[in-house]
């Protein structure tokens, strides 16, 4: 069987080694006589898996001891509501609006209190991240929320906002584990798993301990971070198989030199693609230099029909899911950790061929 090069923004490509190991262990995990999918989450075999997964997260991301790593469900979208439910205590929070998902998070926060838009790049069609000097921080916000990597527009924060004593909350769904990051600069980081962590169905929350346990009375049990923190993410049944795959992915990352290794690998892939786009006569990258994502590379020809032709010819050659998000059109190559260099080299070679035939 020939595997395609899958440039999907998520669910996305997983490392081949991980898929093979999961396949080998699918029917029987170790000598347990059962699949991980069939295991009680209270069994000692499964407890070992979830504990190891958390330990690996801590090791790989160098997470300080005063942070909890929580495994939840509900996607990153549930966090749009859980963050204000748990952290908007005085009723005010700051939001930088840099794309569709931060816009959704901002809209959700308004249901809980005063959400203040402190910066936006909507007028530039989200092609850039506003400079920090443009951030009009409220002095009395409960937290500041940013979407660190904008999956749809292909932009990423080139800086970590300086929020002083006000906790910084970041949606890192599409850039977590792609490079080293100083977790101590954040109060809370959340990410849906289906891009760089593992399969859909798992959401990871990394939260500073002092932010836990402040949710107002009446908060539903499953919407309170405390429930997860006090029960090692096993108050109820966690997404057991997704956590197991996440553990395999983290082991794979460790074997590749950890986040420093991932960063080198990801920088090389992104540079290849952006260098070509910047020199191309046919394609161009709408994301501004200095705000560009290393994970989601967006590009257009400027002609919708030609974009369609590109997407369809690319698909026939085995480069799938290269169509841009339905809200923006054009193309997008998501090149998460598991996308091999070879996939990007072959894509660029195909883009050159397409350019020669269509320019």
Instruction: Using the minimum distance from each CB to ligand PMP, give the nearer residue, 173 or 301.
Output: 173
Q: Is 82 in the site for ligand PMP (CB under 6 A)?
A: no
Residue 101 binds ligand PMP, judged by CB under 6 A: yes
Residues 6+ apart with CB under 8 A from 217: none
- Is 60 a residue that touches ligand PMP (CB under 6 A)? no
35 vs 73, which CB is nearer to ligand PMP?
73
Q: Which stretch binds ligand PMP (CB under 6 A): 30-38, 74-82, 126-134, 220-228?
A: 74-82
Under 8 Å between Cβ of 76 and 192: yes
Q: Count of residues binding ligand PMP (CB under 6 A)? A: 12
Residue of 163, 233, 155, 243 whose CA lies nearest to 197: 243
Q: What is the dihedral of CA 95, 99, 102, 106, to 10 degrees?
A: 60
Q: Does 173 bind ligand PMP (CB under 6 A)?
A: yes
* From 6, 174, 266, 293, residue interacting with ligand PMP (rule: CB under 6 A): 174
CB neighbours of residue 159 within 10 Å: 8
Rounded to the nearest angstrom, the gap between the alpha carbon of residue 308 and the centroid of all alpha carbons in its chain is 27
Q: Which is nearer to ligand PMP, 34 or 77 (CB)?
A: 77
Angle of helix 75-87 relative to helix 100-109, nearest 10 degrees, comes to: 40
Is 50 in contact with 243 (CB distance < 8 Å)?
yes
The b/e string for 280-302 (b: 16+ C-beta within 10 A; e otherwise) is: bebbebbbeeebbbbbbbbbbbe
Q: Is residue 324 part of the contact set for ligand PMP (CB under 6 A)?
A: no
Give yes or no for a contact between 277 and 284, defined as CB atoms under 8 angstroms apart: yes
- CA atoms of 263 and 13, how far apart (whole Å): 17
- The answer to the question of residue 253 lying near ligand PMP (CB under 6 A) is no
Among 63-71, 133-141, 166-174, 341-349, the segment contacting ligand PMP (CB under 6 A):
166-174
Indicate whether 73 belongs to the interface with ligand PMP (CB under 6 A). Answer: no
Q: State which of residues 22, 76, 170, 249 lies at the interface with ligand PMP (CB under 6 A).
A: 76
In angstroms, give the least distance from the CB of 299 to ligand PMP: 18
Judged by CB under 6 A, the stretch of 73-81, 117-125, 311-319, 341-349 that binds ligand PMP is 73-81
Handedness of CA 268, 269, 270, 273 (dihedral sign): positive
- Among residues 21, 32, 75, 222, the one that binds ligand PMP under rule CB under 6 A: 75
Contact map string, positions 203 to 242, toward ligand PMP, x by CB under 6 A: ----------------------------------------
Q: In what order do the strands lie in the sheet with 168-171?
A: 67-72, 203-208, 188-192, 168-171, 144-147, 92-97, 114-120
For ligand PMP, the binding residues (CB under 6 A) are 9-10, 75-77, 101, 147, 151, 171, 173-174, 192
């Amino acid at each position: 069987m020939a595997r395609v090069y899958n440039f999907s923004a998520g669910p996305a490509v997983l490392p081949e080694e991980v898929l093979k190991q999961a396949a080998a262990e699918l029917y029987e995990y170790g000598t347990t006589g059962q699949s991980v999918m069939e295991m009680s989450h209270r069994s000692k075999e499964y407890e070992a898996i979830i504990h190891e997964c958390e330990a690996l997260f801590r090791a790989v991301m160098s997470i300080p001891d005063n942070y909890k790593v929580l495994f939840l469900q509900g996607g990153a979208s549930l966090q749009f509501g859980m963050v204000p439910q748990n952290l908007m205590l005085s009723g005010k929070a700051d939001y930088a609006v840099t794309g569709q998902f931060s816009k959704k998070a901002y809209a959700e926060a308004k249901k809980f209190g005063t959400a203040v838009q402190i910066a936006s790049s909507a007028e530039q069609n989200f092609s850039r991240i506003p400079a920090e000097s443009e951030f009009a921080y409220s002095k009395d916000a409960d937290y500041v929320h940013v979407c660190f990597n904008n999956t749809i527009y292909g932009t990423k924060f080139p800086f970590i906002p300086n929020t002083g004593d006000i906790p910084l909350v970041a949606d890192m769904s599409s850039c977590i584990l792609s490079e080293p990051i100083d977790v101590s600069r954040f109060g809370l980081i959340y990410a849906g798993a289906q891009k760089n962590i593992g399969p859909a169905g798992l959401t990871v929350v990394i939260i500073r301990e002092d932010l836990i346990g402040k949710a107002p009375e009446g908060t539903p049990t499953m919407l309170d971070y405390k429930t997860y923190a006090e029960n090692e993410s096993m108050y109820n049944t966690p997404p057991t198989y997704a956590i197991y795959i996440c553990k395999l992915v983290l082991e794979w990352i460790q074997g590749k030199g950890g986040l420093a290794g991932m960063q080198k690998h990801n920088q090389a892939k992104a540079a290849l693609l952006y260098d070509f786009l910047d020199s191309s006569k046919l394609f161009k990258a709408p994301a501004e230099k200095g705000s560009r994502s290393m994970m989601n590379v967006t590009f257009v020809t400027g002609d919708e029909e030609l974009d369609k032709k590109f997407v369809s010819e690319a698909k026939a050659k085995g480069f799938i899911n290269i169509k841009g998000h339905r809200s923006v059109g054009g193309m997008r190559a998501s090149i998460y950790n598991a996308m091999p260099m070879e996939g990007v080299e072959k894509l660029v070679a195909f883009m050159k061929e397409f350019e020669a035939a269509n320019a």
